[in-house]
A and B are shown apart, each in its own frame.
Chain A
């Protein structure tokens, strides 16, 4: 079964600093990979996705992620944090061999941005 590990349940950065949120997956066949953001009392919003095209994926709100097969990783970055980036971030995978596109999520990383 697929599993997703997000290192660091809480990450704190200063406004303007680099944001790095880590995600590793466990699968012998690279899955499809997604990052979602969740603001309080809301559902999940898709930030970006990797579906076997370019390994560096650009998403919304200035975020990007790089797929590294050798490291089974899909870390999320943003060069300069804004206060509005404070939220919960989830990495998720979809198994290419499944009939459907069910998602397996990591435990999430809460990003805090200090002024």
Chain B
């Protein structure tokens, strides 16, 4: 049973570019969340998707957007990249419900030059 898979594993971009990160949830999960983890810090919640709609959003600018597809997979898009966007981007999936634990992928390491 495959867990949460993310692609690509590493990515290098320059300031001002746009990037798309992809996530496939664990089998049976219908909820996908995205987190940003800067070096040496805990993950910060970006947003969560359920039934192809954004259900919750953290304190991130509109440059960060997402999508969930009918097969529950998800994309994270970041426009107008800044140096400060360099981080590990983690995708997590779960069943819906506030008590449901989230299962994380290994992340995409994004470096902005």
Taking Cβ atoms with an 8 Å cutoff, the residues of A that contact B are 32, 34, 36, 41-46, 49, 51-52, 90, 92, 94-96, 98-108
B98 and A95: CB pair below 8 A?
yes
Taking Cβ atoms with an 8 Å cutoff, the residues of B that contact A are 4, 31, 33, 35, 40-45, 48, 50, 55-56, 58, 90, 92, 94, 96-107
With contacts A102-B33, A103-B43 known, is A43 near B90, CB below 8 A?
yes
User: Once the chains are docked, how many angstroms separate the CA of A95 from the CA of B56?
Assistant: 12
Closest Cβ neighbor of B109 among chain A residues: A41
User: Once the chains are docked, how many angstroms separate the CA of A19 from the CA of B47?
Assistant: 33
Q: Which of A92, A101, A107 has a CB less than 8 Å from the CB of B98? A: A101
Distance (whole angstroms) from the CB of B42 to the closest CB of chain A: 4
B103 and A102: CB pair below 8 A?
no
